[in-house]
Structure 1
Amino acid sequence: MGILNVTPDSFSDGGRFAARGDALRQAEQMLMDGADIIDIGGESTRPGAPPVPLDEELERVIPLIETLRDANVPLSVDTYKPQVMREALAAGADLINDIWGFRQEGAVDAVRDSRCGLCVMHMLGEPQTMQRGEPSYGDVVDDVRTFLEARVSTLMEAGIARERISVDPGFGFGKAVVEHNYALLAQLPQTAPRPPAGARAFPILAGMSRKSMLGAVTGRAAQERVTASIAAAVCAAERGAAIVRVHDVAQTVDAMKVWAAVRDATRRG
């Protein structure tokens, strides 16, 4: 999943693709580099980021969906606002990626009757406050799984097919930088809701690209975390992630090809 932030204040690439032409060129480049999904975000969710007015987010996101919907690639929209969800789906979006886990009033109704995919993320608190103080858990892996199980149950009780749902443990969203994030990565399969007997596991999306959890162990600034981001993506894939959400598509695709070749050779052996 290639990240396309059309915002002026995202933590890693804020402002680079805010102009529509720049955003389209970046989307085209990510497709050439091998992205399987484009994730469009019109509001920064970095810690402390201010909310974006509805009209402004729509103006950033909807024209891009309308332009890219014939590009033969699934389009994801990173939003928690029900009205943005509705208009994004009407414009041709294929997946709604919600950091709030569809907890905003009207969010479930906005997606229930469509056929889009849904990504349910765990977040402790909210973007403005989630990293203040010391985020606290009994057991971070158990707590994240319990939250995701409850949200998935709510969606399914509303009539949403389980096949539409994927989950995201929410790296960096209300987690102690090293302690919680690396526990979640190390035990990634255990963060997902337990499926019924005989049912497939819920696909896991892992989004760690350029995040502070990588800077904490490398000492590098966001723009210098490409290698660390690739390492994190490979670790996630090794632990069963179905989707890795990244800024650096070409480099990650190359790394994944090598990892997959080793995996396949191991299975043959």
Structure 2
Amino acid sequence: MIWSPPVVMAPQMVVGILNVTPDSFSDGGRYDSLGAAITHGCQLHDEGAGLVDVGGESTRPGAQRIDAATEIHRVVPVIRALTEAGVPTSVDTTRATVAAAAVEAGAAVVNDVSGGLADPEMLPVVASLGCPYVIMHWRGHSAGMQALAVYDDVVQMVRDELSQQVDAALAAGIAREVIILDPGLGFAKTAAHNWALTKHLDRIVDLGFPVLFGASRKSYLGALLADDQGRPRPADQRAAATVATSLIAIAAGAWGVRVHDVQDTVDALAVWRRTQEEP
């Protein structure tokens, strides 16, 4: 089947995060029932999310893997119901079988945090589907990825490694025009690496592909906003910091931002766009 998505390549996209997991770092367990997931997905869309990104496996640092059947059981009913409700969706997965099932259920985009490195079947499957494909910079699974956060020059090395992942995707038959890149903040990255990639995001944009930026509520923001005792700001109190990173990313040329707090981001982008207009 060749999928022809009706949405997704418009610039300045806000992608809403919908974790249908019990253990995601920010909102694990809040939306792991079908009804709660559908309600929240529709809310994200109503608030202005151009895509709702549905994930069934936590990728927080240290997270353990689940099996493919469990992941499919979590995401496919939600994607099918949201599609029927007119909500465009993407699937956040590293598995080819999950990607295929999700697209069959209506997902318009495959968002692969491993960029094709975790499952050798992912690239040929995405090529056969023909859908937009997010290639994230990745070095290893969550359980051990922070041990891999070693770079001489993080921006250059992420550029180089993303380019290698793109080459593999093109060789597998994925069309250049459907590829989206993600620098992978927090994935085998320290806080210093995340800040460097944020500051120099234009160098990732210069690779010539749409770039999706995902800093939402991540721990390095919590550390920046720590209290006088050194306690990080809780994840659900990092919305303003997330909005700031999203504006920085869009101003640097990012195609889209992936966030938990859609309304705040949409409002901030409306203000930013207004400043770009002629007076």
Q: What range describes the TM-score normalised by the shorter chain of this pair?
A: over 0.9
TM-score relative to the length of structure 2 = 0.89
- 1:200-239 equivalent positions in 2, closer than 5 A: 201-219=208-226, 220-239=233-252
| Cα distance in 2 between the residues matched to 1:125 and 1:159 | 24
User: Could you say which residue in structure 2 is the equivalent of 1:67?
Assistant: 81
Secondary structure of the 1:45 match is coil
User: Comparing both chains, which one has the higher relative contact order based on Cα–Cα distances under 8 Å and sequence gaps of 6 or more?
Assistant: 2
User: What is the number of residues matched between the two proteins?
Assistant: 258
Secondary structure of the 2:150 match is coil
1:54 pairs, out of 50, 56, 68, with: 68
User: Could you say which residue in structure 1 is the equivalent of 2:269?
Assistant: 256
| Cα distance in 2 between the residues matched to 1:222 and 1:139 | 28
Q: Is the 8 A contact 1:76 1:95 kept in 2?
A: yes
Q: Could you tell me which runs of 5 or more consecutive residues in structure 2 were left unpaired when the two chains were aligned.
A: 1-14, 227-232
Secondary structure of the 1:142 match is helix
| Cα distance in 1 between the residues matched to 2:179 and 2:159 | 14
User: Could you say which residue in structure 1 is the equivalent of 2:9?
Assistant: none
Q: Could you tell me which runs of 5 or more consecutive residues in structure 1 were left unpaired when the two chains were aligned.
A: 195-200
Secondary structure of the 2:84 match is coil
Q: Is the 8 A contact 2:217 2:238 kept in 1?
A: yes
User: Could you say which residue in structure 1 is the equivalent of 2:45?
Assistant: 31
- Shift in Å at residue 126 of structure 1? 2.0
User: Could you say which residue in structure 1 is the equivalent of 2:3?
Assistant: none
| Cα distance in 2 between the residues matched to 1:23 and 1:105 | 30
- Shift in Å at residue 71 of structure 1? 3.4
- Shift in Å at residue 54 of structure 1? 1.1
2:122 pairs, out of 107, 117, 122, with: 107
| Cα distance in 1 between the residues matched to 2:53 and 2:188 | 22
User: Could you say which residue in structure 2 is the equivalent of 1:138?
Assistant: 152
Q: Which amino acid aligns with 1:117?
A: P
Q: Which amino acid aligns with 1:209?
A: S
User: Could you say which residue in structure 2 is the equivalent of 1:187?
Assistant: 200
Q: Which amino acid aligns with 2:59?
A: T
Residue 190 of structure 2 corresponds to residue 176 of structure 1: yes
- TM-superposition CA deviations, 1:171-213 (whole Å, max 9, x none): 0001111x1101101110212463xxxxxx2000000000011
1:117 pairs, out of 114, 132, 155, with: 132
Q: Which amino acid aligns with 2:195?
A: Y
- Shift in Å at residue 129 of structure 1? 1.0
Q: Is the 8 A contact 2:205 2:253 kept in 1?
A: no
Q: Is the 8 A contact 2:52 2:90 kept in 1?
A: yes
Extract structure 1 runs of 4+ deviating beyond 6 A: none
1:147 pairs, out of 161, 167, 171, with: 161
Q: Is the 8 A contact 1:167 1:203 kept in 2?
A: yes
- Shift in Å at residue 70 of structure 1? 3.1
Cα root mean square deviation, aligned = 1.3
Q: 1:222 to 1:28 in 2, by over 3 A?
A: same
Q: Which amino acid aligns with 2:61?
A: P
Q: Is the 8 A contact 1:233 1:252 kept in 2?
A: yes
| Cα distance in 1 between the residues matched to 2:95 and 2:26 | 23
Q: Is the 8 A contact 1:96 1:119 kept in 2?
A: yes
- Shift in Å at residue 221 of structure 1? 1.4
| Cα distance in 1 between the residues matched to 2:120 and 2:166 | 16
